[in-house]
Amino acid sequence: MLGQRSFADLGTPLYDVTFVILDLETTGATAASCEITEIGAVKYRGGELLGTFQSLVNPGTPIPPTITVLTGITQAMVIDAPKIDECMASLLEFVGGAVIVGHNIRFDMSFLNAAATRLGYGKLPNRTVDTLGLARRLVQTEVRNLRLSSLAAHFRSPTKPNHRALEDARATAHVFFELLERAGSVGATYLEDLLRLTTARGRPHYDKLNLTDRLPRLPGVYLFHDVDDNVIYVGKAKNLRSRVRSYFYGDTRRSVTTMLRNLARIDHRVCPTELEAEITELRLIHAMAPRYNRRSRPPKSTSWLKLTAERYPRLSIVRTYRDDGGTYLGPFRSKKAAETVMTAIWDAVPIRRCRGGPGKPRSGACNYAQLGIAMCPCGGDIDEVRYAAVCEDVRAGIASDPERLLAPLADRMKSRAREQRFEDAALARDRFQALAASLNRRRHWQSLQAAGRLWVEDREGDSAFIDQGRLVSSWKAGDGSPLLNITDGDELDPTQVPTSVALQEEVQLVWRWINRPGARVVDTRSPFASPPRPVPSLEALAG
């Protein structure tokens, strides 16, 4: 059972954040050619006023008459005021590490950053919140426009904006705290939520954001439930809270909008390691088949490619794996994927393609035999010794020497490219890659089957206990290892290939984790090693 979570797990609650609400008056609209004439700021924490900063600033240049009309700041008012280089140190000390708030804050920050950079301070690192962006998210349909004056009137601010820095900062503060109350009503009660809310795209279901309040900042799996409590989506995350909340901040995909509309409850499972989160997600998707999951959904049907064990073996696509003496590749998510690999092997070796055999009634050899691209027994003149050598190439290519199958495909691609038959070259490339991937998956499976039980540790100290390719348990560094039974247990009964797509995908996740840089085998029941002859890359064979 998890202990009580700290604020660090949840983020920074808004009542614990220091805000400086700031406004500037300037000689114009562009920081590159204009200067600051007045600074006003108020500092709050937990709703309590902590301080006020106000100063006129001598811009060192004439104030345009239009600015004087707008702000009421005249040249005479700033003649004896300090210049920005005298004000900047005091302002930076007042702001400190607070979050800076303003209405159209990008304008104010452009002037502050330009001045700070020119004076050698560099750009301000403070995070910012824009009340204009908040208002656009939260009250756009309630007001005729989003100007500060309109928002201040809408929220009945006691201070009326008048284009003077301090009064505008105070009015902005009132608007800001009213908007914070609105944000809290849709679940934005932490600083990270507020920062994302101002820049969110689209119109997500903010009213459901509070469903994420109990999610920790830990790796794990999250499950979305609908009103009937059916699981409609399963996902994994390094940080559950951040990942789930990201759905509410403007993911404009139609499927996500529909999913959030149907969302009624969020469940989660904390996992000690990212590997366990990935595998838990995979297992849940295959067990529940949530309707909004597209990746890793269980296939409608599963196919294997089999080299049969008859007198003249042939390649056959089957729906069931059996220990019947045949040589298997797979499983494949679709019959089409299996056909691609089968065609790749046909292109590599002249193995039989038809179902006909010697002694069966047939009017001559099949088309494949007549074209000379396959050794089929249907013509009655097949050389059994030569055919046995072809079958041995297929068995060895699948089991131990993949270059026997892949090298002819690489040669085929090169020859088609030389002949400028680029579509045929691309087809040969795609078949090469499909076959190579299938061979790699088979070899990964058999290496893990042969090793049996493994205790593996990565460079961060996270560990996993794996039994014949399946994850049994995992734990983080410092948590102490569980009691592991590496050497005892039932005798292994390995299979040529995984018996389901779900098992194959889990094995691939385990294999990638074991082979990450810095991972090491702490203990094993039997030697763990990759096959001596790796599956060659297309570049290596075609180069």
Helices (H), 349-493: 367-371, 384-399, 403-418, 422-451
Q: What is the spatial distance between Cα 180 and Cα 158, in angstroms, rounded to a whole number?
A: 17
- Long-range contacts at 63-71 (CB < 8 A, ≥ 24 apart): 63/27, 63/37, 64/27, 64/28, 67/25, 67/26, 67/27, 67/28, 67/37, 70/163, 71/25, 71/37, 71/38, 71/163, 71/164
Tokens of 97: 């590490």
225 flagged as catalytic: no
Other beta carbons within 10 Å of 22: 30
Yes or no: say if 476 and 515 are a contact pair by the CB < 8 Å rule. no
Q: Which amino acid is at 388?
A: A
- Long-range contacts at 494-498 (CB < 8 A, ≥ 24 apart): 494/446, 494/449, 494/450, 494/468, 495/321, 495/323, 495/449, 496/321, 496/327, 496/328, 496/442, 496/446, 497/304, 497/321, 497/328, 497/329, 497/330, 497/331, 497/442, 497/445, 498/331, 498/445, 498/469
Stated length of the chain: 543
Q: Helix 384-399 crosses helix 335-348 at what angle (to 10 degrees)?
A: 130
Q: What is the spatial distance between Cα 225 and Cα 208, in angstroms, rounded to a whole number?
A: 13
- What distances in angstroms separate CA 176 from CA 22, 91, 188, 399, one per listed residue? 11, 21, 14, 68
Residues 6+ apart with CB under 8 A from 316: 305, 306, 307, 308
Residue 149: phi and psi, rounded to 5, are -65, -40
Candidates 163, 268, 286, 444; catalytic one: 163
Q: What is the spatial distance between Cα 420 and Cα 418, in angstroms, rounded to a whole number?
A: 5
Tokens of 486: 């590496």
Cα angle at 487 between 533 and 451, to 5 degrees? 15
Ramachandran class of 212: left when φ > 0, alpha when ψ lies in -120 to 50, beta otherwise: alpha
Residue 402: phi and psi, rounded to 5, are -60, -20
Pairing of strands 463-467, 470-475: antiparallel
Cα angle at 195 between 163 and 253, to 5 degrees? 120
Q: What residues pair up with 315 in beta bridges, in sequence order?
A: 307
Other beta carbons within 10 Å of 479: 12
Q: What is the spatial distance between Cα 148 and Cα 176, in angstroms, rounded to a whole number?
A: 11
Q: What is the spatial distance between Cα 428 and Cα 333, in angstroms, rounded to a whole number?
A: 21
Active-site amino acid positions: 163
